Structure 1
Amino acid sequence: MIDQMTQERLNTLRAPFPDDAVSLKPVYTGSYEYGAEYDGGGRIPESAWGKCDVCGRYHALPAKHLRYVGHARITERLNDIDPEWDWRPLAVDSDGVPIIRGGSMWIELTVLGITRKGVGDAGSKIGTNATKEIVGDAIRNAAMRFGCGLEMWFEQDDDDAYAPLQEPKESDSKAPFLLVVRPNATKAQKRLADVLAALSDGDAIDAAHSIYSEFGRHYYELNQREVDAALEFLDELHAEDPDDCEVIKI
Structure 2
Amino acid sequence: MSGAKDATTRLPEIVIGEPRVLDAQAQAELRAPFPAELVGMRPLFTCEVCRKAPGRCCNEHPRRQCSQCGGYLSVAHMHLDFVGHAHVTDRLLQVDPGWEWEPLAYDERGLPALDQFGGMWIRLTICGKTRIGYGAADGKTGPNAIKETIGDAIKVTAMRFGVGLDLWQGEPAPGRMLGQEHPVGEEAQKALSTAFDCRATMSPVDALDAVRDIWTAHKVFLDDIATPNGHTLRARLTQLLAELDQVVRRQQSMSGQG
Q: Does the residue aligned with 1:46 lie in a helix, a strand or coil?
A: coil
Matched, 1:97 2:106: no
- 1:52/1:58 contact within 8 Å kept: yes
Partner of 1:31: 48
Aligned residues: 156
C-alpha distance in structure 2 between counterparts of 1:152 and 1:188, whole Å: 11
TM-score, normalised with respect to structure 1 = 0.54
* Structure 1: segments with no counterpart, 5+ residues: 34-41, 157-183, 192-248
Range that drifts further, 143-152 or 126-135: 126-135
Q: Which has the higher strand share?
A: 1
- 2:124/2:132 contact within 8 Å kept: yes
Q: Does the residue aligned with 2:48 lie in a helix, a strand or coil?
A: coil
Deviations 1:168-211 (A, max 9, x none): xxxxxxxxxxxxxxxx69967969xxxxxxxxxxxxxxxxxxxx
C-alpha distance in structure 1 between counterparts of 2:177 and 2:69, whole Å: 14
- 2:100/2:126 contact within 8 Å kept: yes
Deviations 1:82-119 (A, max 9, x none): 11110011121011111222132111100011011111
Residue of structure 2 aligned with 1:116, choices 131, 135, 155: 131
Alpha-carbon spacing, 1:149–1:43, altered in 2? closer, same or farther (3 Å): same
Within-5 A mapping of 1:129-208: 129-155=144-170
Residue of structure 2 aligned with 1:43, choices 47, 52, 57: 52
C-alpha distance in structure 1 between counterparts of 2:120 and 2:166, whole Å: 24
Instruction: State the superposition RMSD in angstroms.
Output: 3.0
C-alpha distance in structure 2 between counterparts of 1:6 and 1:185, whole Å: 22
C-alpha distance in structure 1 between counterparts of 2:21 and 2:100, whole Å: 22
Deviations 1:5-34 (A, max 9, x none): 73211211111111011111112221238x
- 2:118/2:137 contact within 8 Å kept: yes
- 2:45/2:76 contact within 8 Å kept: yes
Residue of structure 2 aligned with 1:77, choices 91, 94, 97: 91
Partner of 1:170: none
1:51 deviation in Å?
Answer: 2.7
Kindly, what percent of the aligned residue pairs are identical? 41
C-alpha distance in structure 1 between counterparts of 2:153 and 2:144, whole Å: 14
Matched, 1:88 2:113: no
1:124 deviation in Å?
Answer: 5.3
Q: Does the residue aligned with 2:169 lie in a helix, a strand or coil?
A: helix
TM-score, normalised with respect to structure 2 = 0.53
Partner of 1:64: 78
